[in-house]
Amino acid sequence: MTAFQASSPPTGSALLGAVHEQAAPAARCQFPAALPESPAAPQESAVTLFREHPLLLDCGRPLSNVRVAYHTYGEVRREAVLVTHALTGTSAVHEWWPALFGPGKALDPQREFIVCSNVLGGCAGSSGPAELALELGAEAPLTLRDMVAVQRELLRHLGVERVAVVGGSMGGMQVYEWLRSYPDLVSRAVVIGAPARHSPWATGLNVVARNAIRLAPGGEGLKVARQMAMLSYRSPESFAATQSGRSTTRPGQAAIATYLEYQGEKLQARFCERSYCALTEAMDAFSLSDAELRAIHAPVLVVGISSDVLYPESEVRAHAELLPNARYWQLDSPHGHDAFLMDAVDLEAQVRGFLNP
């Protein structure tokens, strides 16, 4: 197995403070030695930002020495496509979004310079809640604006001056934050299955998930949180088609029961409960006003999902209608919120056409 080494930033790129770049932790993601060494091959790196000039968080606290784990794909250019990941996602776009990633597809590393970083507060290589508490001296709430500010500094480090931003779910909310915080840097944007502000319904689901984690720390609560989230990520039609009847692995149990147990155990093995709480709290605090939406003038493709029960299509469309330069498209699928990952053939064509007019 060959771990990809960190690449140096382009000569002459402007920095807001000194940075330190290093190879990404080998345990995170490795690739077969047979993978061809080409400019389009995934490059996994980590860099420490804000070493001299701190990041001022939304809560008013200064934060220094932020480690960011990220992937890049394609030749370094001044214009890039930034992919922003969902709640439990990682920077390895080629692994979790194969329907959109690859030669000839919407995210083509042979055509574009593509960047994706693990969010601040995540647990896939970037500075997580425990490290942030040590650096700040206490727990401090994170916001999506904080996460996007770190992404902005990473792009500055890489020499990127203009960006198209693409994301689904929590990633789509980050796209909205990019449009609010850095409108002059965004050439175009794609928001998939995401609202411009968190509803009481979506917030309530997160509140119950965090309560489960706090009542049963050590991993058991995280399992329950994931099981509940999975119910909101799919739809009744999707589960009727895929999880009807009895389990084939545990006689006497319902298929849906063993499916949810499996999903909970899988997330517990790879995710951090403190990250889950920090990121869901940031999502719950996220809100763009109608006036802020009307002030966004970049071209935006907004995608709603017909069977989404977490972020209903009507909610996503209503926010899109406030954008002066938006195109709305509905992904018709029975698979609920997760359709942007599970049922993305038509989505790929829409995103590809929008990014390459």
Under 8 Å between Cβ of 54 and 62: yes
DSSP class of residue 2? B
Which residues are tagged catalytic? 169, 308, 337
Q: How far apart are CA 225 and CA 214, in angstroms?
A: 10
Q: How many residues does the chain have?
A: 357
Q: Point out which residues pair with 49 in neighbouring strands.
A: 66
Which residue stretches of 159-254 are H helix?
170-181, 200-215, 220-233, 236-242
Under 8 Å between Cβ of 301 and 348: no
Across the chain, where does the E strand assignment appear? 20-23, 43-49, 55-56, 62-63, 66-73, 79-84, 114-117, 162-168, 186-192, 300-305, 326-331
Long-range contacts, stretch 199-203, CB < 8 angstroms, 24+ apart: 199/311, 199/315, 202/283, 202/284, 202/310, 202/311, 203/284
Q: Token pair 């647990």 is at which residue?
A: 123
Cα separations (Å) of 209 from 25, 119, 147, 206?
30, 20, 22, 5
Other beta carbons within 10 angstroms of residue 88's beta carbon come to 20
Q: How big is the chain by its Cα radius of gyration, in Å?
A: 20
Under 8 Å between Cβ of 324 and 296: yes
DSSP class of residue 53? S
